């Protein structure tokens, strides 16, 4: 039988993966002065979840959750349709 803590670690990894992919996507599309700091915070958050899971003996579950969350959101962001009337698309189409 699956324990509640098992599900909790998987969900924690899933959330960490979703947040990681979202923050990478936003960083790639909007470069600011805070980009390096946000990169370190992103890595620290993922590391905190994985280290806490490792200390409780559930590293594989958290890592699997992270992979599922990261891959699912990454594929969704890559394959989604975008608005082709934005300035960058218009600039590239006129070249």
Q: In terms of residue numbers, what domain contains 50?
A: 35-68
According to the model, what pLDDT value does residue 27 have? Answer: 84
Assess if residue 46 is contained within a domain.
yes
Instruction: Give the closest residue to 66 by CA, choosing from 26, 3, 10.
Output: 10
48-52, 71-75, 90-94: lowest mean pLDDT where? 90-94
Assess if residue 41 is contained within a domain.
yes
Assess if residue 90 is contained within a domain.
no
According to the model, what pLDDT value does residue 29 have? Answer: 81
Assess if residue 7 is contained within a domain.
no
According to the model, what pLDDT value does residue 12 have? Answer: 94
Tell me the H-state helices in the chain.
4-29, 35-55, 59-79, 87-93
According to the model, what pLDDT value does residue 60 have? Answer: 93
Domain count, the chain: 1
CB 10 within 8 A of CB 61: yes
């Amino acid at each position: 039988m699956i324990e509640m803590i098992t599900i909790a670690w998987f969900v924690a990894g899933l959330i960490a993966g979703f947040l990681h992919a979202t923050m990478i996507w936003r960083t790639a599309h909007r470069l600011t002065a805070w980009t390096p700091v946000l990169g370190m915070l992103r890595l620290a958050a993922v590391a905190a979840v994985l280290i806490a899971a490792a200390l409780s003996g559930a590293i594989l579950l958290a890592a699997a959750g992270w992979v599922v969350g990261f891959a699912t959101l990454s594929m969704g962001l890559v394959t989604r349709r975008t608005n082709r009337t934005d300035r960058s698309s218009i600039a590239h189409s006129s070249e």
